[in-house]
A and B are shown apart, each in its own frame.
Chain A
């Protein structure tokens, strides 16, 4: 059995893994990256559209360009990586096993592990569309890979279910390759992706966006021949009689992403309700020395935020190795962070009391869109400890908030922070 040793093992060479590895290497530690694909870069390699890097580089790059900049750094810093290699197990005592077809089984021992495995797309079964099960149903990302990387078109006429950014971007991409997109169908009453994509990917090409509708049936036994769509009520019940047929030879699903955490579970770490691992403010999972960043932790809309999260993870890992690794475990007292009204999920799930006087980055998504709101923190006694105004919140945009808890008057006696989004009181008055 081949074995490797490193201070830090990074699993996954997407935007997250690359940035984290660079951070660790710059601190002078020994880092190793393992990636199952045949090249470094992750999902951004297939996202050939522009819209990446505005925060990180202050210019608008395509996905591959964004990846290339980090790949170049990895090469310059001579960070070792193994490609075409799948991590298959992280044991509870933090031994990592991976396989490839050249070296066989690989055992890695590392002082710390950074999980950066990204996410996967939800599939049709998960949303239970009735009908046949023919060929011609793809997730948007799968189609993206076929068109942009493998070099094949999965179909000629498309219906896209879900108005997420990936779905809308694929609508334009396919139009540009000479295909016809009949419609983008969205079950919510609003578009779930960015306005910019709605305008530049759909409206530019007169692609109909049909909201409050969903696909109710798949037609075609061998290859899909069309879909039935129907209007849904507020509670997502189908409205009888609203059904209509759209002919197409391909259905793309852009119905969401979920963090990819089989390995994380195996390692014994706990997951939270968003499907990502439960982490503290250092991005450390419930297993000491295992950290997570990028889409494996929470699905991000912007790669720039993945990068900044990954850099944070990298720094914290360095700190862990320099100050905590192999030392007697200090029992950390933690403040629990809980999702309140209109919060779908939040990160971190815990704040270490010893970090109360440092900048803590909170990330969360809301459950439903709202305008003119207040983001509010309460303690376990329902006392409001922090408030901030926000013009709007929408589920498709992750909110990031930087707070120094001590500065806002939080004491170490606090047990819980509940974050909630509530309408601004003045709005209520205005409406009176």
Chain B
């Protein structure tokens, strides 16, 4: 935040939608409205808006399994969840233990942290 024109830049977002990697700036004008600048296409703008107001991520991790063919089942959230909630979600997942057999898509934790997202299994897992 050196130059005058950047004084109102509140965030720089690197667009990852395509490999061009535009640097998109979120700019605040005197009326406190936010505009974006630096994107090349509409997909970039959408991405920047999402990243600015409500960054979300798909979480992929594992859950411990009793009597499984392997000791962990890979899981993911079935929709992106707030970036801020990742750590808390990981803690809940760490405390969870599930039983084999499991089918891909099985909901292992429902509506985790009231996010509206479920934690689902990423594969089939048989018993030992």
Nearest A residue to B126 via CB reads: A39
| Beta-carbon contacts under 8 Å, A371-429 to B | 391-392, 394, 397
Indicate if the CB atoms of A50 and B58 lie closer than 8 Å.
Answer: yes
Give per-residue flags for B98-128: 1 if the beta carbon is below 8 A from chain A beta carbons, else 0.
0000001000000000000000001110000
Q: Is B7 in contact with chain A by the CB < 8 A criterion?
A: no
Chain A positions within 8 Å of B14 at CB level: 195, 199, 203
Size class of the A contact interface (CB-based, 8 Å): 20 to 34
Nearest B residue to A147 via CB reads: B62
Indicate if the CB atoms of B74 and A151 lie closer than 8 Å.
Answer: no
Q: Is A204 in contact with chain B by the CB < 8 A criterion?
A: yes
Indicate if the CB atoms of B16 and A68 lie closer than 8 Å.
Answer: no
Nearest B residue to A196 via CB reads: B16
Indicate if the CB atoms of A48 and B16 lie closer than 8 Å.
Answer: no
Indicate if the CB atoms of A65 and B104 lie closer than 8 Å.
Answer: yes
CB distance from A21 to the nearest CB of B (A): 19
Chain B positions within 8 Å of A68 at CB level: 104, 122-124
Which of B16, B21, B104, B122 counts the most A-chain CB atoms under 10 A from its CB?
B122
Indicate if the CB atoms of B122 and A62 lie closer than 8 Å.
Answer: yes
Chain A positions within 8 Å of B62 at CB level: 48, 148, 151
Size class of the B contact interface (CB-based, 8 Å): 20 to 34
Indicate if the CB atoms of A50 and B123 lie closer than 8 Å.
Answer: no
CB contact under 8 A between A391 and B20, given known A49-B60, A199-B14, A204-B83 = yes
Interface of A: prevailing SS: helix
Number of A-B contacts (CB under 8 A): 68
Give per-residue flags for A49-70: 1 if the beta carbon is below 8 A from chain B beta carbons, else 0.
1100000000010111101100
Indicate if the CB atoms of A151 and B71 lie closer than 8 Å.
Answer: yes
Q: Is A200 in contact with chain B by the CB < 8 A criterion?
A: yes
CB distance from A7 to the nearest CB of B (A): 29
Please measure, in the bound complex, the distance between the C-alpha atom of A148 and the C-alpha atom of B70, giving whole angstroms: 10
| Cross-chain contact of B71 among A60, A150, A397 (Cβ < 8 A) | A150
Q: Is A77 in contact with chain B by the CB < 8 A criterion?
A: no
Please measure, in the bound complex, the distance between the C-alpha atom of A68 and the C-alpha atom of B57, giving whole angstroms: 23
| Cross-chain contact of B76 among A50, A67, A177, A392 (Cβ < 8 A) | A50
Give per-residue flags for B1-39: 1 if the beta carbon is below 8 A from chain A beta carbons, else 0.
000000000000010100111000000000000000000
Nearest A residue to B93 via CB reads: A176
Please measure, in the bound complex, the distance between the C-alpha atom of A63 and the C-alpha atom of B123, giving whole angstroms: 9
| Beta-carbon contacts under 8 Å, A43-94 to B | 45, 48-50, 60, 62-65, 67-68, 71
Indicate if the CB atoms of B19 and A397 lie closer than 8 Å.
Answer: yes
Nearest A residue to B70 via CB reads: A149
Please measure, in the bound complex, the distance between the C-alpha atom of A48 and the C-alpha atom of B104, giving whole angstroms: 13
Indicate if the CB atoms of A65 and B122 lie closer than 8 Å.
Answer: yes
Q: List 7 A-B contacts (CB under 8 A).
A: A50-B60, A62-B122, A68-B123, A71-B124, A150-B70, A151-B64, A394-B19
Q: Which residues of B contact A (CB under 8 A)?
A: 14, 16, 19-21, 57-62, 64, 69-72, 74, 76, 83, 86, 90, 104, 122-124
Q: Which residues of A contact B (CB under 8 A)?
A: 39, 45, 48-50, 60, 62-65, 67-68, 71, 148-151, 173, 176-177, 194-196, 199-200, 203-204, 391-392, 394, 397
